[in-house]
Structure 1
Amino acid sequence: MSDVVLSCQNLVKKFGGITATGNVSLQLARGARHALIGPNGAGKTTLINLLTGVLPPTEGRITLEGEDITRLAPHLRVRRGMVRTFQINQLFLSMTPLQTLALVVSQQRGLGGRFWSALGRDRAVAERAEQLLAHFHLAEVMDVPTEYLAYGKRRLLEIAIALACEPRVLLLDEPVAGVPAGEREEILQTVAELPSDVSVLLIEHDMDLVFSFANRMTVLVNGTVLTEGSPEEIAADPRVKEVYLGHGEEAAHG
């Protein structure tokens, strides 16, 4: 079995005359904790959109578990084990965390949308939902409609939904974006405790989270890879300090 679970080779994305992604190659190792960083406009989200099928590449190739998925539809990539979260919550505000997770678990297990009956009749669905609620610090608010949850709890629910899809590859798109400082610790702890068999690619501008989480880092600048290495190598690289770390957090969105 290959040690590389997700890779892209020479990915290019052009919007008219603008090259948003220029010959990006990246390999995500099995079980990796890999961070993708870069200043505003570096092309991080565009790259994630290419990897997940939201955008078709102009050139290049994407493989998942050794299979070419370059032209595969996004929902089929999810079925094959590639799941992402978003910078902005994609949640059902009128549903509770328990209802939401039961729905996702039911669909994952081929029960369709019959999660109301599944909660009562399928003990395995209820048990899995309860496990996720406990792991993501949501048990105490499991019956509260999502619209009334604190923003940090919504972010935790979003990551719990992603894990309910049983991913082999998880793409975390700025999990602490917009979360007040007092609510970040739960998210940082939860991200650190993600299952070791799930390979994670993290986009994040919070450098405390990046350096506490990642064992590998890729730096994007102007749609191209500037460098890649261990957190220690990235922190010591004068080019990274010049174009990114030295600019402060306000330059880190994108």
Structure 2
Amino acid sequence: MTTVLETRNLRKDFGALKATQDVSFRLEAGARHALIGPNGAGKTTFINLLTGVLKPTSGEIFLNGDDITSVRRDRRVARGLVRTFQINQLFGKLNVAESIGLVISERRGHGRDWWRFAGKLPGIADEIAQLATDFGLDSVLDQPCAGLPYGKQRLLEIALAIAAKPKVLLMDEPAAGVPEADRHEVLDRISALPSDVSILLIEHDMDLVFNFASRISVLVGGALFAEGTTAEIANDPRVREVYLGGGDE
């Protein structure tokens, strides 16, 4: 299979703290891959390195075979590496339609004066409508993002990521904080994401992980501890001991 995202001996030190320890990782084309580990394992640090929020102490990052270790964050997005956040990052004063239109306009090269183009360029209105339908947001298009129920906010952030037309999507705990009543909708929308988008999911919800992922990597203490299929990870006694609740009773 084709590798779309790869790290080689990726390391990040914060003084004496080794947050990421020589992680060599591959994400395959079309993957549904989960990254799990106990609190403090370095999962979000790893995502921040991949997206350019943090600079690695050493090691390399490759996207579709190109070295992007020193590429700026915005250029990584332009190359197709997109993320969602553990805590929503939305345009609070814009409404849902405006938010989606802004991302589409930015993707088309009109981000600086997007308001002139959002309703005029061919296809933008149709794309906004389609994304809103795909993510259950068609009934709230005119509502400000800050006033949306939290479940809808999570769906909107995923919709904004997809509006950027990613090749690789990094999702940092997309179900975190979602009320139980809205949880199934969020999980269903995640399961229906386009199959040509390669996805790396960070998540503590094991139901979501095992229902979504076909492959799982486990980080412990900033190092890659185990990797395999969902069945292999679920049955690995070392993983069960450090993360999934211990060994056999």
Instruction: Indicate the TM-score class for this superposition, using the shorter chain for normalisation.
Output: over 0.9
TM-score, length basis structure 2: 0.96
Offset at residue 121 of structure 1 (A): 1.9
**Percent same amino acid among aligned pairs?**
57
Partner of 1:143: 142
Partner of 1:227: 226
1:84 maps to amino acid: R
Alignment partner of 1:246: what SS?
coil
1:208 maps to amino acid: D
Moved over 4 A (4+): none
Offset at residue 246 of structure 1 (A): 0.2
Partner of 1:26: 25
2:61 maps to amino acid: I
User: Contact 1:218–1:227 (CA<8 Å) still a contact in 2?
Assistant: yes
Alignment partner of 1:31: what SS?
coil
1:131-157 Cα offsets, whole Å, 9 max, x none, are 110000000111111121100100000
TM-score, length basis structure 1: 0.94
Q: How many residues align?
A: 246
Partner of 1:250: none
Partner of 2:184: 185
Alignment partner of 1:9: what SS?
strand
User: Contact 1:152–1:184 (CA<8 Å) still a contact in 2?
Assistant: yes
Offset at residue 107 of structure 1 (A): 1.2
Distance 1:120 1:224 in 2: 48
Partner of 1:243: 242
1:61 maps to amino acid: E
Partner of 1:251: none
* Gaps in structure 1 of 5+ consecutive residues: 248-254
Partner of 2:90: 91
2:110 maps to amino acid: L
2:58 maps to amino acid: E
Partner of 1:165: 164
Partner of 2:50: 51
Distance 1:70 1:148 in 2: 38
Distance 2:80 2:147 in 1: 31
Distance 1:123 1:144 in 2: 24
* Gaps in structure 2 of 5+ consecutive residues: none
